[in-house]
Amino acid sequence: MKTSFSFLQFFPLGDTRPQLAVILTMALLGAAACDAQTQEEIEKAMRDTLLSGKLKGALVSRVEKEVWRGKDPSQSITIHKLGGYELQLADLADGTGIVAVLKDNKVVYVTQTIGSMPVLVYEPSLGIDADQDGAPDVMLGGHSGGMHCCYSYQLLNFGSEFRPGALLEGGSSEISLINAAPQAVFRASDGVLEYWHSSFAESIFSEVLISIDRDRVVLAEAWMRRDPPTPEERAQFAADISQAFASKEGWMQDPENGEPPFVPRALIERMVPLIYSGNGDAAIALLRETWKGSAAARDAVALDLFTRLSNSSYWEGLKTFNGWTGDPKSILAAK
């Protein structure tokens, strides 16, 4: 799964190498590494702060500037118990936050978030094994800020050895838990068609239902699959699309140049749900059966759509779901 994140600094205890990771926004950012001595000072400062709920003693100016910015996180700390672990979420006054995991009063994982403070997607008391490895998990989600973007999520695995698990991107939409057992299933939205020949408000979003297999995010195919359209439904689709071609209303516009490509919204709005329900071949057939215009224009529209869909985080899953192999061009050529 392709994933975009916001900037976080990860400080695994016992590792003196500077660590950078990313979660909770849209772009991968870089940062200057600090030396081993500063890394140890940061770890100690975080240990002291999270264990006591307040800053202990005087921190070196560099640590105070780079990590705490002189703020006291004790104003808001929530604590969750998970077996022998303790999950602490600290909300700093400057809008950043701290996520820490403790075991036997020792910090085993600590992260400073930049962006909104992470929130729990579901309560730890549910004891959900989201990644199906036999150990309980917690999913934290956050938003980067800004219009139309971006939700990202981190799974934390509370097994005999704690580890951060799968990373998930929500794009412009939140991810929610819709089924806990025997398999955890989450509802997400695929925004790969955002701004595709349209404004944001007119963009087509597709619901995806996902589960986690160890650290891999996979489509929950049994939950997503739908029956193919009936003859009556196909006839109605054809009538709606034919009317759109005749009236030239609802044609998708390209905001970059203002020119309408030869494709009515009614066609794409019926093709895309078929693809996301395991009926991709029916979507291709619908395009070919209802197209009004040259074959060259039809094939260009199909390739444009499939090429855009191939940028989706879920593209490989969608190909398997629909029984496709190869790139967009070869998929279309085989049908």
Q: Do 116 and 255 share a structural domain?
A: no
Total domain count for the chain?
Answer: 2
* Per-residue pLDDT of the chain in tens (335 residues, 90 and over written 9): 332 223 233 333 333 222 222 222 222 222 223 344 454 555 555 445 444 433 333 322 322 333 433 445 445 667 788 888 988 777 766 666 677 788 887 778 777 665 556 778 888 877 888 888 888 899 888 776 666 667 888 889 998 899 888 888 777 778 888 998 888 999 999 999 988 888 888 889 999 999 998 888 899 999 999 999 999 999 999 999 999 888 877 777 655 555 556 688 899 999 999 999 999 999 999 999 999 888 888 998 999 999 999 999 899 999 999 999 999 999 999 87
In a domain, 285, yes or no: yes
For residue 166, count other CB atoms closer than 10 A to its CB: 23
Beta strands per DSSP E along 144-261: 151-158, 162-171, 176-179, 185-190, 206-213, 216-219
Q: Is the distance from CB of 68 to CB of 56 less than 8 angstroms?
A: no
Q: Are residues 239 and 165 in the same domain?
A: no
Residue 250 to residue 255: CA distance in whole angstroms? 14
**Residue ranges making up the domain that contains 122:** 7-171
On whether residue 205 sits in a domain, the answer given is no
Rounded distance, CA 35 to CA 99, Å? 23
- Exposed / middle / buried, residue 316 (Cβ in 10 Å: 0-12, 13-18, 19+): middle
| Closest among 265, 269, 235, 268 to 248, alpha carbons compared | 265
Asked if 242 and 139 sit in the same domain, the reply is no
| Residues 135 and 243 occupy one common structural domain | no
Residue 316 lies in a domain: yes
Q: Is the peptide bond before 182 cis (omega within 30 degrees of 0)?
A: yes
* 41 and 139 in a common domain: yes
For residue 214, is it within any domain? no
In a shared domain, residues 249 and 154: no
Whether 162 and 31 share a structural domain: yes
Structural domain contains residue 181: no
Residue given tokens 């700093």 in the structure block = 92
Give yes or no: residues 136 and 18 share one domain: yes
Same domain for 248 and 154? no
Angle formed at CA 304 by CA 301 and CA 309, multiple of 5 degrees: 125
Same domain, 124 and 235: no
Q: Please state whether the peptide bond connecting residue 150 to the residue before it is cis, i.e. omega within 30 degrees of 0.
A: yes
User: Which residue among 119, 147, 171 closes a domain?
Assistant: 171
